[in-house]
Amino acid sequence: MMRKVAIALVLILLPSLMSSSAPVIEATLIVFPDGWADVTLSVSSASSRYYDLKIGGDPQNLIVTSSGLILNYSLTGNLLRVDTLGLPQFEVNYQTQSLTSKIGVIWNLTLSLPSSSTKVYLPADATIVGISSLPDEISFEGDWIKLSFGTGTLWISYKLEKVSIPQRTVTGSEVSTTTSVESRGNGSSSDETMTIEMNANESTSIKSPENTTSFRGPEAYAPSDGYITLALIPLILVIVSVSALLLIKNRTKGSVKYGEIEELIIRELRARGGEMTQSDLTKALGLPRATVWRRIRRMEREGILTLERRGNTTVVKLRR
């Protein structure tokens, strides 16, 4: 009789005991414009020495830490086994490019993580065109759009806005301008392109897929070609000035600007013979992994650094 009572008590209490000791997993993803994602999985209330965790994507530069202590792990497929050393909390961080894909101008982010809470950071110029479920919260943090979900299984489709720089040609007294502008109608998922064509000796027209509006050029109001040329001088100056400003602005964005972090990275690499692993570089700088990763990826695109894969490690090399 007592044995049956004991078994009944165990069966009654077992679900509550299991739920109280179930680990809590929170995921944070920072998605960069080139499709790379920085993934952080925070696990708390882990009760076993070895903990198995399913991760998403093809991880690179994976590291597991607990209060600054680096933990050992083994990875089989997408199953990560962590030696927690009996510590209740640990954090997994890695970068991956396999969580995103691109079809045309549309990016797709697909997640299947064991997290009960997921925060996704998209670039501030991203426009969401599709989503698996409405987020619990949407907010802006610096240069990022933050989306909070109560699940780790979701997908997001988005596009990044593009600004086209007008191409202008000046030949003699003729000024020809063609500018493409992407505009999004309210409540419309499709884009329309507006083309503005300007010619000194012809009419100025604004063309769109739905309508065409024409404005008569200065010849309709000027008595002679000499007056036309004089009247067009201010217009030419304005167009040339605007074009120059746009080109300068664009070149400034694409030019190499060394900030304090970039200078520290170059200085540290030079002190170590020109190359270091990414993890050693991050430790030497004492900066967040995501910050260092963003900087070295940008410096790689600008031709300052090269990134070389050696096993599960990324080696950062300074170009000679």
Both 38 and 100 in one domain: the answer is yes
Residues 29 and 155 in one domain: yes
pLDDT band of residue 9 (cuts 50, 70, 90) is low
218 secondary structure, DSSP code: G
Question: How big is the chain, counted in residues?
Answer: 320
User: Residue 212: pLDDT above 90?
Assistant: no
Last residue of a domain, one of 105, 134, 160: 160
pLDDT of res. 131: 94
Whether residues 26 and 72 fall in one domain: yes
- Kindly state whether residues 223 and 270 are assigned to the same domain: no
Task: Judge whether 81 and 51 are in contact, CB under 8 Å.
Answer: yes
Give a yes or no: residue 96 inside a domain: yes
**Pair (152, 172) in one structural domain:** no
Q: Which helix (H) or strand (E) element contains residue 183?
A: strand 174-184
Q: Is residue 247 assigned to a domain? A: no
- Average pLDDT for 186-212: 41
**What CATH number should be reported for the domain holding residue 313?**
1.10.10.10
**pLDDT tens digits, one per residue of 114-127:** 999 999 999 989 99
Q: Is residue 3 part of a domain?
A: no
**Is the domain of 97 the same as that of 73?**
yes
Domain final residue pick, 228, 249, 277: 228
Count CA atoms within 13 Å of residue 119 on its CB side: 16
Tell me the pLDDT of the chain averaged across its residues: 74
Which alpha helices (DSSP H) does the chain contain, by range?
Answer: 2-21, 225-254, 260-271, 278-285, 289-301
150 and 55 share a domain?
yes
Whether 5 maps to a domain, the answer reads no
Q: Determine the 3-state secondary structure of 277 from DSSP.
A: strand
Question: Does residue 244 sit within a domain?
Answer: no
31 with 98, same domain: the answer is yes
What CATH number corresponds to the domain at position 57?
Answer: 2.60.40.1730
The whole-number pLDDT of residue 300 equals: 84
- Provide the domain limits for residue 45: 22-160
Are residues 203 and 148 part of one domain? no
CB 292 within 8 A of CB 240: no
pLDDT tens profile 258-304? 578 888 999 899 998 899 888 889 888 888 777 888 788 888 888 88
Q: Is residue 243 part of a domain?
A: no
Residue 320 CB-half CA count within 13 A: 1
Q: Is residue 218 a part of any domain in this protein? A: yes
Residue 306 has pLDDT above 60, yes or no: yes
- The count of structural domains within the chain is 3
Residue 233 lies in a domain: no
CA distance 34 to 188: 26
Q: pLDDT, tens digit, for every residue of 164-184? A: 444 443 344 443 433 333 444
Q: How far apart are CA 206 and CA 211, in angstroms?
A: 9
Same domain, 171 and 154: no
Instruction: State the DSSP H helix or E strand holding residue 308, giving kind and residue range, or none if neither.
Output: strand 305-310
Same structural domain for residues 72 and 139?
Answer: yes
How far apart CA 170 and CA 30 sit, in angstroms, is 45
Most confident stretch, 12-16, 20-24, 73-77, 245-249: 73-77
